[in-house]
Copies of this chain bind each other. A is one copy, B any other.
Amino acid sequence: MSKFQPRNPEFESNIIERLKGQHFMHLMGFDLQSIKAGEIIGEMNLEQHHLQQFGYVHGGVTATILDITMGFAAFSLVPVGFGTVTANISVDYFHPGQGEKIMAIGKVEKAGKSMMFCTGEVYAINKNEKKLIATARSVMAVVDAKKH
């Protein structure tokens, strides 16, 4: 069970609604698997268009799915009428990513009124192996949803 109480009872359907407009996420082929208050998990099959010149997952792909899962994790905890935008994201790349799938987990670590601190992890999945290839942290700003 999540350590957080959502302040918007409809956070899950609101996230599903917002996913429709995530054009860049759709271009990549990434999708969410689990939506909980303060924790979002998503994954995608790795295809050639996700790679860079050495056959590894592009660092931009990794950063993008971290931003998406941490961003929706933060959004899951704001009150009705509010949204979140990324103020700062930092990604540490532990290992080159290779495999069949890539999975991202975004979590809220501290939920403030105007700001949320999140962490994220990306795993490359290959047969039965699951390898941590990157970690991240971010500051998400809570904003008036009418403007964002």
Contacts and interface: CB of A to CB of B under 8 A. Distances in A.
A107 interface: no
Contacts of A81: none
A95 to B, nearest CB: 8
Contacts of A67: 58-60, 63
For this chain, the copies found in one complex come to 4
By secondary structure, the A interface counts as mixed
Given A68-B60, A114-B114, A137 B27 contact: no
Nearest to A52: B22
Interface in A39-82: 48-54, 58-61, 63-65, 67-68, 71
A52 B24 CA distance: 6
A34 interface: no
A4 interface: no
A16 to B, nearest CB: 11
16 contacts: A24-B60, A26-B49, A27-B28, A27-B49, A59-B64, A59-B89, A60-B63, A60-B64, A60-B65, A86-B91, A87-B117, A88-B90, A88-B91, A95-B110, A115-B115, A135-B137
Interface of A: 18-28, 48-54, 58-61, 63-65, 67-68, 71, 85-96, 109-110, 114-115, 117, 135, 137, 139, 141, 148
